[in-house]
């Protein structure tokens, strides 16, 4: 866990090491991370927002030779494709994965319950808003499928959500990631991004506790 936290907080340094080591293969590595985060239901803890922000920030620096346009394309394909795979898993193995002795360890029942509650409350809009909330974004496609939500309708909202998510995260990283004050306090910026992403979940949790206490 400490290694994952270190990776997230110092993701800019780790990305620089990846670029220096693997060169153009960096695109494939980052594609795999986002695809796995969204597609493999059992890995909701992988970084998403911070990775897009950091990658876009590096692409704005000519010294690294990275292309922001290519990043946008691979992140779009990875997130849309990953969500569709996630939906497929929910449709085919919705009842099996959470109860599996091994796979079930990666999916917390409380997180799955929150995702179901979120989806039941907001319906189709949960597909859009869920994309911006860590953990929830990985579970929403799965929950939508187990709720017999039509895939054709799911993919429409998912396309809008993924385009918005990639545009906002990459746009922010590209235009603001290399501002001196941001570069000098990159870890704090990443913490801020994670904190902002968690605000909707925190509000939902507080509301639930408030209602249950009445």
How far, in Å, are 44, 71, 113, 170, 198 from residue 118 at the CA level? Answer: 16, 30, 8, 26, 14
Per-residue pLDDT at 38: 84
Per-residue pLDDT at 85: 93
Per-residue pLDDT at 69: 95
**Residue 21 and residue 205: Cα distance in Å, rounded?**
42
pLDDT above 80: residue 154: yes
Q: How confident is the model at residue 116 (pLDDT cuts 50, 70, 90)?
A: confident
What's this model's pTM, rounded to 2 decimal places? Answer: 0.78
Domain boundaries, the chain: 2-213
Instruction: Output 88 or 44, whichever has higher pLDDT.
Output: 88
**Residue 94 and residue 107: Cα distance in Å, rounded?**
12
Per-residue pLDDT at 133: 81
**Residues contacting 153, CB < 8 A, separation 6+:** 124
List pLDDT tens digits, range 196-212: 655 655 665 566 555 55
The stretch 165-186 carries a mean pLDDT of 80
């Amino acid at each position: 866990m400490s290694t994952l936290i270190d990776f997230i907080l110092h993701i800019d340094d780790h990305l620089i090491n990846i670029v220096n080591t693997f060169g153009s293969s960096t695109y494939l590595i980052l594609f795999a991370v986002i695809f796995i985060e969204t597609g493999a239901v059992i890995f909701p803890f992988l970084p998403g927002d911070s990775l897009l922000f950091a990658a876009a920030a590096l692409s704005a620096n000519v010294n690294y030779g990275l292309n922001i346009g290519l990043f946008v394309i691979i992140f779009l394909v990875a997130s849309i494709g990953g969500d569709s795979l996630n939906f497929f898993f929910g449709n085919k193995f919705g009842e099996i994965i959470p109860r599996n002795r091994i796979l079930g360890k990666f999916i917390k029942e409380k997180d799955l319950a929150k995702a179901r509650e979120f989806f039941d409350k907001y319906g189709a809009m949960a597909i859009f808003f869920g994309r911006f909330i860590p953990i929830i974004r990985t579970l929403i496609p799965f929950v939508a499928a187990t709720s017999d939500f039509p895939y054709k309708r799911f993919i429409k909202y998912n396309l809008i959500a993924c385009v918005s998510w990639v545009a906002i995260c990459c746009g922010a990283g590209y235009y603001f990631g290399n501002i001196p004050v941001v570069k000098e306090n990159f870890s704090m910026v990443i913490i801020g991004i994670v904190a902002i992403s968690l605000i909707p979940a925190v509000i939902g949790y507080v509301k639930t506790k408030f209602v249950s206490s009445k």
